[in-house]
Structure 1
Amino acid sequence: MPLPPRWLRRLVLAPGVVLLAFFVVATLPAWALLALAASPLVPGRLRPLRLLWIGAVYLVWDAAALLALFLLWLGSGFGAYKRAPAFQRAHYVLAGWFLRIMFWQARWTLRLSIDVVGTDPDTALPGRPELVVCRHAGPGDSFILIHALVNWFKREPRIVLKETLQWDPAIDVLLNRLPNRFIAAGPDGRDSVVRQIGHLAAGLDDDDAFVIFPEGGNFTPSRRLRAIDRLRSLGLERMARRAERMRHVLAPQPGGLLAALDAAPDAGVIFVAHTGLDQMLTVADVWRELPMDKRIAMRFWSVPPEEIPAGEQERIDWLFDWWARIDTWIAANRNGAADDA
């Protein structure tokens, strides 16, 4: 389904979510009784009730964020000064608050914990911007990364996202007010996407973190095979063979990262691997895992700018080398207990 135009999302979708949240809260006791009655009929401990709670909390979270964003819009002179530094900072602070609430609920409802090892963006290159290059696998992995960057490492992320994420009204409003880019291939395809990424990565300051997922989508076995086939169709047999040896990641698409490196030559690079949610590939997988009781392991590696190769092909090989290292780390840590290798 195509994404509705912005005016329709603002005038219909966003107010609709707020009204729906009020309705769900008002009728929540009745829904809770139904979910409790259904719980003995399905496997897992109170699975329908947990699912109802997760959905209700997320809906209220979205509605509360929209109301807070509306107040910021009023305070910025009906949006006239929303790009001013003070209001940009206020939006990052707001994002941090709401992400803390989300992960507090995740720890309580789903029994999730996050174990982070390796160099973090605070200590790797103090006073320099970072390009944060992350694998993409499992539900909510991008939320986990942004939560870490904003709340733990006090960075201001610039994110490359798929345009379909704008179906979520809070994500749509918040991230469109900050320097992020929702990507949709234009008439000239990948060249348009690469140009947009390069433009977003330009002008990073010392507390910025440019976030990119070079796989282009969540890992699934079928996507992995399609990525390998695509490399072969382009005549990149050597890269295809390298991708075949990586079992837990998709072959990275280097164009966006190359554009970001060119646009931000003084930035360091942080590679991020994680595991713990990557075996949940479908809605059925998520349902089967509730309550999750998962330990999410994250590993950060830092590369200073002087160690980044200069040539295009050297950078592509370097990216594949790092992706192979990430694949090896995932294979060793799929039980969620992170090592520091």
Structure 2
Amino acid sequence: MGVLTSGWLWLLHVVLRTPRQAYLHANSTLQFWWADTLRRGAEKLFRLNFVIESENALAGPAAIVLPRHTSIGDTILPVSFYAKAKQLRVSYVLKRELLLDPCLDIVGNRLANVFLNRVAEDMGPELAELEALAASATDQDSLVIYMEGTRFSSTKRRRVLKLLADKGDDEALHRAEAWPNLLPIRPAGALALMKGAPDKDLLFLAHSGFEGSANFANLFNGSWMNTTVHLRFWRIKAADIPAAEHDRRALLFSQWDLMQQAVAEMLAAESD
């Protein structure tokens, strides 16, 4: 359906010669429709219930959004509960492998998204692209990046811990061990966005309810049935973000400590 609709939008643009901004707006509207359709479908099919905490953090200018990533289902959260609700455009930083999805390949490349080559020998050009994306963002453009780089699972976390131990990186290992519900962050991408858009706030998103559903197979094992998905937002204003990259990196690590705390609290509340 998404591919057909995107094709129809392209045809209208070519035949009617609609302005490029109108064409991009139509594709952004399609993105909102896609996220809302998936959310409503999940609510009906799996009887999901979404609960937002700290909704006041959503007020304010378009931000750099930094969510945890645990499931294919959580990719709609920044669109459905932030960008669409505030009528903001949204640009995603995603892994290049997702271009195998025809809809993402078509619409994702029409809009201002970046598909990163995570295994590039030289990440310089990739990070420069992120900085350029952020620099071109207006006060109506939000930016979303998953600092963990991939969906969380206990298996992936154990693999990362072993890798850090084998490398002898005691500092990184100590940090990672303090985040039992999260993967260690890769801060370079977020730092590039912050450098390109120094006037943008940071909006963090913790959530619970999608645990144990890191791949499509998990959609059919009943793990989502009758689940309440809790979302907790908090905002760091641009004026409170330090200027030095070292201090910004430390800020991201400290906020990931808060992310772990928030997730642990929500999971504990679910088990009561």
Task: Return the TM-score normalized by structure 2.
Answer: 0.89
Which one of 52, 61, 68 corresponds to residue 5 of structure 2? 68
- Cα pair 1:158 1:209 within 8 Å, conserved: yes
Q: Does 1:332 align with 2:268?
A: no
* Kept in 1: contact 2:210–2:224 (CA 8 A): no
Alpha-carbon distance in 2 for matches of 1:305, 1:233: 37
| Paired position in structure 2 for 1:106 | 42
Equivalent pairs, count: 270
Aligned-residue offset at 1:329? 1.1
**Do the aligned residues in 2 keep the contact of 1:228 with 1:251 (CA within 8 Å)?**
no
TM-aligned CA distance change 1:79 to 1:102, over 3 Å? farther
How far, CA to CA, are the matches of 2:37 and 2:120 in structure 1? 40
Partners of 2:74 and 2:16 in 1: CA distance: 31
| Residue identity matched to 1:102 | L
Q: 1:91 aligns with which of 27, 52, 67?
A: 27
Describe the superposition over 1:301-332 as per-residue Cα deviations: whole angstroms up to 9, x where unpaired: 01100111222221111111111111111111
The equivalent residue for 2:131 is: 198
Residue 236 (structure 1) shift = 4.2
State the match for 2:87 in structure 1: 154
For 2:171 and 2:249, how far apart are their aligned partners in 1? Answer: 12
Q: Deviations over 1:189-228 (max 9, x none)?
A: 4333322222221121111111000100001123223334
Matched, 1:139 2:76: no
Q: Secondary structure at the match of 1:158?
A: strand
**Deviation of residue 115 (structure 1)?**
0.9
Listed one character per residue, the Cα deviations across residues 137-178 of structure 1 (whole Å, up to 9, x for unaligned) are 023211222222332222211100112222221222111100
- Indicate which of 271, 274, 294 corresponds to 2:227: 294
Shift of 1:108: 0.9
Q: Please give the alpha-carbon distance, in whole angstroms, between the structure 2 residues aligned to 1:291 and 1:249.
A: 20
Structure 1 regions of 5+ residues with no counterpart?
1-63
Gaps of 5+ in 2: none
Identity of aligned residues (%): 26
Q: Which of 182, 204, 213 is matched with 1:271 structurally?
A: 204
Q: 1:146 to 1:296 in 2, by over 3 A?
A: same
2:190 aligned with 1:248, yes or no? Answer: no
Checking the alignment, whether the CA contact within 8 Å between 2:65 and 2:78 is kept in structure 1 is no
Residue in structure 2 matching 1:118, options 40, 54, 57? 54
- 2:83 is paired with a residue whose SS is helix
Structure whose alpha-carbon radius of gyration is higher: 1
Distance 1:237 1:283, change over 3 A: same
Deviation at 1:88, TM superposition (A): 1.1
Partner of 1:5: none
Q: How does 1:178-327 map to 2 (within 5 A)?
A: 178-185=111-118, 187-231=120-164, 236-283=169-216, 285-289=218-222, 292-327=225-260
Aligned-pair RMSD on alpha carbons? 2.4
